[in-house]
Structure 1
Amino acid sequence: MKTIIKFAYFFKILQFVVGIDYDGWLNIKIEHKLNCEEDYCTRGNIALKSIRTGTSVIEQKPFTKQHIEELKEIADYDGFYTIRTLVTSAENKETEFLSSVKARAFLESGLSDVINAWVLPNGAVTVVSFQVANISRTLQYETNERYAVNSNFYLRYVDQAPVPDTTSYIQKLEREREAREKGDLKDNRSFLAKYWMYIVPIAIFVMISGATNPEPAAQASR
């Protein structure tokens, strides 16, 4: 079963066109541990031809009766259902991410989930999160004892914090130091700005002295 997921809002597309420096393909392989003879087995795949547009194609295997039974066993002891995502791109090697949800919540949602990939401006994926869709419905039973997995996938733009220009600041300090040594650096501050640390203590001292030693009141004339 193939489902093409597109961003529904124009500002999301515009955000990627403006904010992403890199564009290229991205592939996310989805794995889980249900009904597996190995550590993890394939659940599906998400493919993107362009990170900037965010258009994705999702291919997922339907759950069998064995998958559902194992999921119910995990839900009975309030356990977690875990997926592993393996992310690859033209510029980055395979990166692994793990994410879990309550098995009971996944069943109650009718095997509906949301997968988010957080992408830096250079196209690198930093996090892949997996969460249960905020709905409640029964399992969608298909022919041959198959249950459809309903997934929505979204790319999320991560805005990097500004990096301080330490090189320029150090160069500025070095130029000021050299100017002081040569005597070329003039101090254009006002008199108060230069010597306030001397003036303020004197002013405080005068105020305190005046408060503790008031002038004697003039005697009334006789």
Structure 2
Amino acid sequence: MAKLTLFIFFLSSLLIISSSLAFQSDELLVDDDEFGLEGAKPQSTPLHTSSPQPQQTPTFRKRYSDLDLDSKVQFTLEHAFGDSGFSPAGTFSARLKSWSHGGKTLTKLRFSRNGFSDEEKDSFKNLLKGDDFYRIRLPSSVISPPGKEFVVASVRARCLPRDGLDEHFVIHMEGANILAVSYGSLGACQYPRQFKLPAKWSFNSHTILKSSEQAPRTPIFTEEILGGENAEGEVEPPPERSFWAKYWMYLIPLGLVVMNAVTQAANVAEGPTGGQAGGSQVQQSARRR
């Protein structure tokens, strides 16, 4: 009887221990699956395997704010002989860069010059004989249609003929606007200017494009003529200035100094005279008493 009781106690204890172990293992499995603890059993891999995804390469997008847009522009050169009207004489072509901040810049300037017709050659010969002005003009804006606003320049016709007709353009720009144009011969124009027909009636053109904030106050190609020419071709000296025109800046201070000295001398002379007059009046009043 005692052995049976001991066997039943042992068997019941074994059942309790096994049930407690089973409960603990179930709890650990749930914790492992739910919280991903270290040492958890790896999940069974699925039967089907997915194909590996291709590796995506990073794409680089260009910043359009850093890009510039180019557009081709053309504008016409016009010329006139003396006081005659203007007519087309050539075409300028260039690239207009438009920047993201709104600015514009003219680059890659090209020039196509029209040759003189027979009528224009005769008009230019008349300019050479009279040493008159040959004029050119450009539109003030290269993107707007030509209107009434132009930039005009001129040069003595006798300055252009060399072996051919040498001309030099300096165009001053601000964005898409032409502020000024300097026009003349490639070299210095000798004075007195000699009458000379060009050996070739073809232009040798040189162009320079300058971007600036304001136009120059004086054009690059200017002729400083101190005196005119008489009938014999001799240079007349400039008229001589008068004595006052030469030395007025010295005469005015000198006059002020003299006037100041005269005024002080007059004040000094009036002092003793006034004192003597006062003394004589006192003496006369004393005698009357």
Structure number with bigger Rg: 2
Q: TM-score, normalised by structure 1?
A: 0.49
Q: TM-score, normalised by structure 2?
A: 0.39
- Give the structure with the larger helix fraction: 2
- Give the structure with the larger strand fraction: 1
